[in-house]
Amino acid sequence: MDRKVNTLAPAAGGWRFHTPGTGWSEVLPWPEAVAALPPTGPVELAVPTRLVVLERMRLPASDPTELEGMVALQLEKTLPWPVEETVHHPLLISSQAEPPESDLAACAIHRSALEALCEPLAGRLPRHVTLQALHTARQAPPQEAACALWLEEEALVFGVFENGAPTFLELLPGVDLPRETTQALLSADLAGAATQFTTTLLDPALAPHASALSKATGAPTQPLRPDAEPPAPEGPDFALEKWHEAAARQARFQQLRRRAAQVGVGYLVLLVLGFGYIGLQKQRATRLEAKLAELRPTADAALARQARWRTLEPAIDRGHFTVELLHQVAASLPSKEIRITLFEHAPGQLRIEGEAPNASEAVAFAEALKKNSALSAFRFEAGPPTLLPNERAQFRIYGKP
């Protein structure tokens, strides 16, 4: 049994409900029983016999689909309302394939009567609707015929069960039980129900009449268990189709709400992780800034020393001495015919002017200066040589760091 199901069932003098945690409640009027239901969990409703029409049938078919059509046709002949206004199901007693034949009881409930009964349950329509007679039938001996008398609300019910299925139901006035039971047996026999019983199930409230009822039914009495655990929701479901649709919509809504909640939780987790990561990065940045602030005096001192060395480099590096630079320039002359007429050395700059026998010699001198590794600290630039009247070429070369 689904342990989360709450069962509403008629009882002697009213209604009561069963919850998995607390068992059966006290007997209450129908509206009060509905109001006292636990706020959570699906509801199963056991319909009282006063709303049920039961017809015993023997039909020449064994296929469930064929049986449904045949049952609807038979009910059209006997029901006081159009069959389309009812919810009905067959209760199979026995069946054989060859020749195809089935004994069954067809149960029908008028839709408007069921809707009127469940009106107080509008906010929590039952997930499954069964018959109180089916709950009673589960206490009857299987594979045998039995009868039962029990109380529902203000009514006394007489029922016949065959192979665990109700095949005859009738409400009795309850004035003269033995006589009324005998008359009900005659009605059951005319309806085609079994009347030779092995057991008579009796409501504990009717225990004083056990002996007389046993004589009337011809079978020993056995007490019904009104506090028995209700069975799991199974068998035919008399709930209206629109109730199932509403339940399906509600289930989809609940599922969407759960998914939205899961997405929201995931989003919050991501936000928390994001803020945590940002906080961690801020802490790291703060530590780095503190470390940089700690190292800044050392770095500033190193940069100051480097600047001083660069300032002093021309004075202390031999490669930057003017005489050494002039020596390297002279060593780069490609020909003794080239004459240097001007050599200037200022901090970070060289200026060389002179004359070459021809323009190609002037260009070759500029290229030789660029290739001299001892002068790699300078970047030499030379414009086109100027040709003189005596066919010699005048050049100007500038060297910059």
pLDDT at 311: 67
- Residue 117: what pLDDT? 93
pLDDT, tens only, 151-173: 999 999 999 999 989 999 999 99
Q: How far apart are CA 94 and CA 242, in angstroms?
A: 32
The mean pLDDT of 324-345, rounded to a whole number, is: 88
Neighbouring residues of 242: CB distance < 8 A, sequence distance ≥ 6: none
Query: Which residues lie below 8 Å from residue 296, measured CB to CB, with a gap of 6+?
Result: none
34-55: per-residue pLDDT in tens? Answer: 999 888 888 999 999 999 999 9
**At CA 340, angle to CA 335 and CA 344, rounded to 5?**
140
Determine phi and psi for 155, rounding to 5 degrees. -110, 155
Mean pLDDT over each residue of the chain, to the nearest integer: 89
Query: Which pLDDT value is given to residue 318?
Result: 64
What distance separates the 2 farthest-apart alpha carbons in the chain? 160
* pLDDT given at position 316: 57
The pLDDT tens digits for 224-247 are 998 888 877 777 899 998 888 887
Question: How far apart are the two ends of the chain, measured CA to CA in Å?
Answer: 94
Q: What's the confidence (pLDDT) of residue 173?
A: 92
Check the CA dihedral 66-71-72-76 and report its sign.
positive
pLDDT at 306 over 90: no
Most confident of 125-129, 203-207, 363-367: 203-207
Burial class (CB in 10 A: 0-12, 13-18, 19+), 376: exposed
The mean-pLDDT minimum among 72-86, 190-204, 234-248 falls in: 234-248
Report pTM: 0.63
Residue with the larger pLDDT of the pair 301 and 106: 106
How many percent of the chain have pLDDT more than 90? 47
- ∠ at Cα 47 (229, 58), nearest 5°? 100
Q: What is the pLDDT of residue 353?
A: 92
**What is the rounded distance in angstroms from the CA atom of residue 364 to the CA atom of residue 276?**
67
Q: What integer pLDDT is reported at residue 312 of this predicted model?
A: 62
Side-chain half-sphere of 107: how many Cα atoms within 13 Å?
A: 26
Residue 1 has pLDDT above 50, yes or no: no
Over residues 144-157, the mean pLDDT reads 94
Give 129: exposed, middle or buried? Use CB within 10 Å, 0-12, 13-18, 19+. Answer: buried
360 secondary structure, DSSP code: H
Q: Which residue has the tokens 């660069």?
A: 310
Residues 115-120 have a mean pLDDT of 92
Residue with tokens 């929590």: 124
pLDDT at 11: 93
For residues 195 and 161, give the distance between their C-alpha atoms in angstroms, rounded to a whole number: 10
DSSP state of 146: E
If pLDDT is split at 50, 70 and 90, which confidence band does 314 have? low
